[in-house]
Structure 1
Amino acid sequence: MALAIHFDNALASGRLRSQADLAQAGQVTRARLSQIMNLCNLAPDLQEELLFLKPYFNGRAPITERQIRPIAAEPNWDKQRRRYRKLTDSAGRSDRG
């Protein structure tokens, strides 16, 4: 999420002119850049929640960017919130705000 915000700010500030420039500077493919940038479509409270998830140190991440992609693709923020809660409930996250 932090990377998506950073990339978005780089474009908004004019530091980089296009997503193609941003992909090159970030050393990612354009497709990957699109996946990252789509996280900016999440409801603001979900963005904040992702930014403040407690770190994990053992095993796999309980919530992955790949799992968040379809939620970010949903244009309705209320539906996003429901889908996110379902995901976090199934992941057993107890550190939500």
Structure 2
Amino acid sequence: MITVKRKLHFATEANGRQRIQKTPVATDVADVGRVPRKSRLMALAIHCEQMIREGEVADQTELARLLHVSQPRMTQIMNLLLLAPDIQEALLFLPRTVSGKEPIHEKLLRPIAAVLDWARQRAMWAGR
């Protein structure tokens, strides 16, 4: 009996059919993990501010109605815009969460956003 050892590479066509190919097919590697919730909320706050500025919505009340959240929750989200720009940037570029809980919780950010002095915000952010 003859035994042939060879690696096989399968390519999936648009209709779902698989074909054998001689060379491996390059595939896109999916990003590991998920974008942290704080990053998504920060991006949402920036987008909402832009919508208000451009006149797409009248105010935060209308935004809350569109997003199906309460007005107090909308205020909590928009208060992220009161953070110093470098803190906002740090939130936007948090590393992806692979498993478990996220290291930064929104409740940690609320007292920092309540302080209007950016220097004090930065000190609180560094000492979190």
What's the TM-score bracket when you normalise by the shorter of the two chains? 0.7 to 0.9
Unaligned 5+ runs, structure 1:
88-97
- TM-score, with length taken from structure 1: 0.86
Unaligned 5+ runs, structure 2:
1-41
Paired residue for 1:22? 63
CA distance in 1, matches of 2:95, 2:69: 26
2:71 is the counterpart of 1:8:
no
| Deviation by residue 1:12-48 (Cα, 9 ceiling, x = unmatched) | 1100001110001111100000000000000111101
Q: 1:50 aligned to 79, 85, 91, which one?
A: 91
Give the percent of matched residue pairs that are identical in Structure 1 and Structure 2.
Answer: 45
Q: Over aligned residues, Cα RMSD in angstroms?
A: 0.7
SS state at 1:14 partner: coil
- TM-score, with length taken from structure 2: 0.66
Of structures 1 and 2, the larger Rg is shown by 2
Paired residue for 2:115? 74
4+ long deviations beyond 2 Å? none
- Give the strand-richer structure, 1 or 2: 2
